Chains A and B, each alone.
Chain A
């Protein structure tokens, strides 16, 4: 068996690797025995693996990614982001207005049990707001939001490989269901409880879902219109860039889950403060995505 990679990578490793390569071509050229050729081939494969490994410096580049990499990759893919935003927001608005003016409409996307649970969750009359809870419950909800929301984000991205159709489905579907709940609860007059709850994390959460959808659309579009590349190459290049957007969106969803579990759920905080913080979050996020890392470039 070979020694561990670190022991192997001595200064003369490239020279020794080339020597083995030469042995292999000589062995092949002279038709030496299959055993010998297999053995040399295996040595060359192992050497190749050590010598040509791709840079794996995720940790070193994390700071760069946060400061410049993520916002610039979002900006350079803004057409996908706009399309994804439209696919999410238009159904959301239409369904929101629809459910606001005709409360029956919500039953076209949700069954009566879940409508009832939304209602009781945000009912201002109820002594405890939906999941009113101790700090243990906050932690439980944090875990749940991570598990559920980031899972949704990942699926929204991955489903994009079906020519973008899966991402479109998830964006429209999420838009419809969020819009219907918002419209329905607004029409009931549960404004303070509902908007007070969602305002803090909405900017991060909704933007992150849109970004995951945009990444999925990029993946799918590379199959629809691969340009001058083969589809195999096009999807690989699109994937490499799209996954950066997904990393950023996942981090945003972690932030959103944190806010949602430990801030949004609080009832003691004054409503105006919650709205104010929500608006501030939205502004900061917008400014970050628009301007961060512009000078550094890609």
Chain B
């Protein structure tokens, strides 16, 4: 039932028979993370250049060697040693994983980063972006060859307290799905603007037979009742 919906959830079944879920990261945060990494890399190379310029020709040799390392292995180092996140990815809260949601290995990270040069073609990563848009899981060519995936690092938002409305039993029948929806509505009241809450509550006007603030309060009451506030 869930799989019929179009969304960016990615599911893997574990040996324990549990479906793990993760949200896949699309092109926009990935491009932004890349640009940030690019700026960091550029700054690092600039600093190295200034420091090594003192050493003359030998310094240039070391400089070129370091440029080579930074150019090809900057992402590899961070992805493997820092839990799948380059500094840029850390800022945008995304992380590289194998597509069974295990941490990336040296091999998979090196493959996906060597293939950057193929993703870059014909220019400015156009190929990689096209691949990301047309493949399931927003994968660029490097991800396809390495079997990796970029997902959002799940952040558990602290649960906000429920609204103060007194719980009240629904005076109309609620199926399990409906109950979950109403509970979700109550629990997320702190994350949704008052206007949007009214809009959502008004959809149920035919069954609750109230609108506006009153409908919102009614739904919160039912939600709190379902969650145990039944005095």
A residues at B contact (CB < 8 Å): 18, 21, 24-25, 31, 33-35, 38-39, 41-42, 44-45, 48-49, 52-56, 58, 133-144, 146-147, 150-151, 154-155, 157-159, 161-162, 166, 219, 232, 235-236, 238-240, 243, 246
Contact A155–B117 (Cβ < 8 Å): yes
Measured CB to CB, the nearest residue on chain B to A239 is B145
Docked Cα-Cα span, A230 to B114, in Å, equals 23
If A25-B17, A44-B18 touch, does A236 touch B57 (CB 8 Å cutoff)?
Answer: no
Docked Cα-Cα span, A55 to B117, in Å, equals 27
Which chain B residues numbered 113 to 154 have a C-beta less than 8 Å away from chain A? 114-118, 121, 141, 144-147, 154
Contact B156–A154 (Cβ < 8 Å): no
Which chain B residues numbered 46 to 76 have a C-beta less than 8 Å away from chain A? 56-58, 60-65, 67-68, 71-72
Docked Cα-Cα span, A183 to B106, in Å, equals 42
Contact A31–B180 (Cβ < 8 Å): yes
Confirm or deny: B179 has a beta carbon within 8 angstroms of a beta carbon on chain A.
yes
In the complex, what residues of A have CB within 8 A of residue B229's CB? Answer: none
Confirm or deny: B16 has a beta carbon within 8 angstroms of a beta carbon on chain A.
yes
Contact B115–A44 (Cβ < 8 Å): no
Measured CB to CB, the closest approach of chain A to B108, in angstroms, equals: 8
Measured CB to CB, the closest approach of chain A to B161, in angstroms, equals: 12
B residues at A contact (CB < 8 Å): 14-18, 20-22, 56-58, 60-65, 67-68, 71-72, 80, 97-98, 100-103, 105-107, 110-111, 114-118, 121, 141, 144-147, 154, 156, 159, 176, 179-180, 183-184, 187, 227
Contact B61–A52 (Cβ < 8 Å): no
Contact of B22 among A45, A157, A235 (CB under 8 A): A45
Given contacts A33-B227, A34-B183, 14 further A-B contacts (CB under 8 A): A25-B18, A41-B20, A44-B20, A45-B21, A45-B154, A138-B61, A141-B61, A146-B64, A147-B68, A151-B68, A158-B118, A162-B121, A236-B144, A243-B111
Measured CB to CB, the closest approach of chain A to B222, in angstroms, equals: 14
Contact A161–B115 (Cβ < 8 Å): yes
Contact B61–A142 (Cβ < 8 Å): yes
Instruction: Classify the interface of chain B: helix, strand, loop or mixed.
Output: helix
Measured CB to CB, the closest approach of chain B to A61, in angstroms, equals: 10
Docked Cα-Cα span, A70 to B28, in Å, equals 39
Contact of A239 among B16, B111, B227 (CB under 8 A): B111
In the complex, what residues of A have CB within 8 A of residue B114's CB? Answer: 154, 157-158, 243, 246
Contact B159–A35 (Cβ < 8 Å): yes
Instruction: Classify the interface of chain A: helix, strand, loop or mixed.
Output: helix
Measured CB to CB, the nearest residue on chain A to B155 is A42
Contact B115–A158 (Cβ < 8 Å): yes
In the complex, what residues of A have CB within 8 A of residue B65's CB? Answer: 142-143, 146-147
Measured CB to CB, the closest approach of chain B to A262, in angstroms, equals: 11
Contact B118–A137 (Cβ < 8 Å): no
Measured CB to CB, the nearest residue on chain B to A36 is B159
In the complex, what residues of A have CB within 8 A of residue B183's CB? Answer: 33-34
8 shortest interchain CB distances as A-B pairs: A143-B61, A143-B64, A139-B61, A140-B61, A136-B57, A139-B58, A239-B145, A136-B58
Contact B110–A166 (Cβ < 8 Å): no
Contact B103–A42 (Cβ < 8 Å): no
Docked Cα-Cα span, A136 to B52, in Å, equals 13
Contact B102–A54 (Cβ < 8 Å): yes
Contact A161–B67 (Cβ < 8 Å): no
20 pairs across A/B with beta carbons < 8 Å? A33-B180, A33-B183, A34-B180, A34-B183, A35-B159, A38-B156, A41-B154, A45-B20, A45-B22, A135-B58, A140-B64, A142-B61, A143-B64, A143-B68, A154-B72, A155-B117, A158-B116, A159-B117, A162-B118, A236-B146
In the complex, what residues of B have CB within 8 A of residue A142's CB? Answer: 61, 65
Contact of A35 among B110, B179, B187 (CB under 8 A): B187
Measured CB to CB, the closest approach of chain B to A188, in angstroms, equals: 29
Contact of B117 among A58, A133, A158 (CB under 8 A): A158
In the complex, what residues of B have CB within 8 A of residue A150's CB? Answer: 68, 72
Measured CB to CB, the nearest residue on chain A to B16 is A21
Measured CB to CB, the closest approach of chain B to A14, in angstroms, equals: 10
